[in-house]
Amino acid sequence: MTVSMCRRLSYVAVLTLAIVAGTATTQSRPNVAAHGMVASPEPLATDVGVAILKAGGNAFDAAAAVQFALAVTYPAAGNIGGGGFMVGLTAVGETFALDFREEAPAASTEDMFVDGDGEMVAGLSTRTHKGVGVPGSVDGMLELVDQYGTLTRADVLAPAIRLARDGFPVSYALAGSLQRNERLRQFASSVEAFGLEGDGPDMGDLLQQPDLAATLEAVARDGRDGFYTGRVADLIVADMQANGGLITHEDLRRYGAEWREPLIFEHAEYQLVTHPVPSSGGMTIAQTLAVLNMPVLERVGYHSAQAISMVTEAQRLAFADRNYWLGDPAFFDVPVTRLLSRDYMEQRRRLLPQNGMAGTSTGVSHGPLESDETTHFTVADRWGNVAAITTTLNSGYGLGAVATGAGFLWNNEMDNFSARPGIPNQYGLLGAEANSVQPGKRPLSSMTPTIVRRFGDFYMTMGSPGGPTIINTVLQIYLNVTVWGMDIQQAIDAPRIHHQWLPDRIDYEPFAISAETRAELERMGYELNERRSIGMAAGIKKTPEGFLAGYADRRGAGTARGY
């Protein structure tokens, strides 16, 4: 190890200790900085990313460090036992997409979650080890550091290892989350890992995770072989065999993150850089924006009944296409070009209601074509590199089971496949053959990490957790900034609405619509449903002076910090 590397590691270690000793608070205004910015859902992980930037790492080093730190400090969604998507923008203007989504094990079958009558078996895909997909987060982050980072994997993993080994004070939010979660208590490995005997940890208690620290140390030492082969892989397979899971040593050896061409589309003077399928968010947003009449939307006013109706009807069409046409492109020929073509968008636009009344989802299907628990974080550095990552275990805490001896939580991502066409998953989304279960296939996702450029320059980046609400959260943040003139904090904090084709209703947050607007929407024929919260976004926007303004959603306990 070189002297300079020792200095970097020492600096990161000192800063991590300072992070753990400090008091984590949420923010009420955007944080503005000149040299780098990190926005994540968990303050300790945010500070890990800032420490990496200060130690000389770039945005991609910091993003990987945040991912590993979230696996320690934000177990509800941060992970090494799940997967996700990333889009990146380099200092020289290169864009890329990284798919580290989970895969179906080789023993998976198309009808594995239905009974003999073709009906979904309740809980089989979400509450048993059969619902676990082969995790991709470790391979994805190692690929990112290897291809675009400037530090070593030991540098990047050092803060997460320290947090897991030495522990950190449990926050108020984490204490409440662990104490309330009954799914974790169903598994002895999780009870032990999180100290859930009795009431569980209190705020201020030190949470140490020695098994997770040992797993992270193996990755730091041996790279992907520290997770996908060797001792950790043996622990994974043993845990699967003991609990009826499907993942084998061969599944682990075969897994590899995929570098993909990002989905890039133009809208007015903006260019949106998003992840392609099997992420569905970019396609759905592109179709929604293409159908919307933007001058009329701007004229009718923010969250007026007509504006909400316009967005809802565009979303209705886009989600109908999403649920039928989108899936893993390695297994299904997704007609991306045709779905985004001018002719096809004009066909769909003609289906919009013309009488000022609500449309119906039963009257809308996919178009004919020729031959809620996830997390998002983003990092921008002083050189112009930008990383946007959305990562997930699927449900909050995933399956709820910690891999015995390995210390990390399992995903339950197999529920994101279509168990059978027409059967909804836990988010109410219907799917078709494009997203059926097949060995080695990656399930369709709503994750939508997005980077926006304006006249060729970085403008902003954002993303969110929330199942299908992710797509509409990102869409509304974009519209809030570009149409309604909000800053990044206003755009993220603004109350949201959601429509996803089926169920045929508009969900809305408290204060998202006035009493008069609600009455008008009901007169138009819409069913309305108030829900407590939609999404939990994080974003960074460049200020007119060229600084970086970062913000994490008031709906959570996250932070944005820079230097």
Range of the domain at 367: 1-167+208-563
The answer to whether residue 203 is domain-embedded is: no
Distance between CA atoms of residues 40 and 389, nearest Å = 10
pLDDT tens digits along 189-207: 999 999 999 999 999 999 9
Split into its structural domains, the chain has a count of 1
Please say if 374 is a catalytic residue. Answer: yes
What is the residue-level pLDDT of the chain in tens, covering all 563 positions? 232 333 344 444 434 444 443 434 456 689 999 999 999 999 999 999 999 999 999 999 999 999 999 999 999 999 999 999 999 999 999 999 999 999 999 999 999 999 998 888 999 999 999 999 999 999 999 999 999 999 999 999 999 999 999 999 999 999 999 999 999 999 999 999 999 999 999 999 999 999 999 999 999 999 999 999 999 999 999 999 999 999 999 999 999 999 999 999 999 999 999 999 999 999 999 999 999 999 999 999 999 999 999 999 999 999 999 999 999 999 999 999 999 999 999 999 999 998 899 999 887 777 655 436 799 999 999 999 999 999 999 999 999 999 999 999 999 999 999 876 666 666 565 567 889 999 999 999 999 999 999 999 999 999 999 999 999 999 999 999 999 999 999 999 999 999 999 999 999 999 999 999 999 999 999 999 999 999 999 999 999 999 999 999 999 999 999 99
The answer to whether residue 190 is domain-embedded is: no
The answer to whether residue 487 is domain-embedded is: yes
Residue 373 CB burial class (10 angstroms; 0-12, 13-18, ≥19):
middle
Q: Greatest CA separation found in the chain?
A: 72
> Do residues 433 and 322 touch, judged by C-beta distance below 8 A?
no
The answer to whether residue 38 is domain-embedded is: yes
The answer to whether residue 100 is domain-embedded is: yes
The answer to whether residue 173 is domain-embedded is: no
Q: Which of 374, 469, 473, 559 is catalytic?
A: 374
Closest residue by Cα to residue 537 from 555, 519, 524, 513: 555
φ, ψ of residue 392 in degrees (nearest 5): -155, 155
The answer to whether residue 179 is domain-embedded is: no
The answer to whether residue 180 is domain-embedded is: no
Distance between CA atoms of residues 120 and 268, nearest Å = 44
Helix axes 43-54, 3-21, angle to 10 degrees: 150
Residue recorded with tokens 């989504």: 101
Distance between CA atoms of residues 40 and 371, nearest Å = 43
Residue type, 505: R
Closest residue by Cα to residue 160 from 184, 140, 138: 138
> Do residues 190 and 409 touch, judged by C-beta distance below 8 A?
yes
Residue recorded with tokens 């020729």: 370
